[in-house]
Amino acid sequence: MKFSVSTGDVTKAKSDLMMVLVNKEFAKDQNFKTLDKKLGTLLTQLLKRENFEGKWGQSKVVISHKKIPALYAGVFGLGDKDKIEYECLRKAGGRISKIASQLKTKKITLGLKFGNLALKDPAKIAQALGEGLILATYEFLRYKKKSKNSFYLEEVSLIIDDSKKISFLKKGFEKAVALGAGIFLARDLINTTANHMTPMELSRSARGLKGVKTRILGSAEIKRLKMGSYLGVAQGSKNPPAFIEMHYKPSGKSKTHVALVGKGITFDSGGLSLKPPKQMETMKDDMSGAAAVIGLMSVISRLAPKVEVWGYVAAAENMPDASAIRPGDIITSMKGKTIEVLNTDAEGRLTLIDAMTYAQKRKPTYMIDCATLTGACLVALGDRISGIMGNDEKLIESLISCGKDAGEKMWQLPLAEDYKDELKSPIADYKNVGSGYGGTITAGLFLQEFVEPKVKWAHIDIAGPSWSDKSRDYESIGGTGVLVRTYAEFLERLSK
10 Å Cβ neighbour count for 329? 15
Q: Are 67 and 39 in contact (CB under 8 A)?
A: yes
Q: Are 244 and 177 in contact (CB under 8 A)?
A: no
What whole-number distance in Å separates Cα of residue 28 and Cα of residue 116? 10
Q: Are 199 and 264 in contact (CB under 8 A)?
A: yes
Q: Are 140 and 476 in contact (CB under 8 A)?
A: yes
Catalytic residue among 107, 349, 431, 456: 349
CB burial readout 397-427, b (16+ within 10 A) else e: ebbbebbbbbbbbbeebebeeebbebbeeee
Query: Which amino acid is located at 158 in the chain?
Result: L
CA-derived radius of gyration, the chain: 24
Catalytic residue among 33, 223, 275, 362: 275
Q: Are 209 and 297 in contact (CB under 8 A)?
A: yes
Active site residue 349: yes
First to last CA, the chain: 28
Rama region for 385: left / alpha / beta (φ>0; ψ in -120 to 50; rest) = beta
What whole-number distance in Å separates Cα of residue 435 and Cα of residue 44? 62
Distance of CA 207 to the CA centre of its chain: 21
Helices (H), 195-270: 199-205, 219-224, 228-234
CA distance readout (Å), 222 to 227, 244, 289, 472 = 6, 11, 20, 41
Active site residue 275: yes
Q: Are 339 and 233 in contact (CB under 8 A)?
A: no
Task: Write out the H or E segment, with its range, that includes residue 107.
Answer: strand 107-112
| Positions marked catalytic | 275, 349
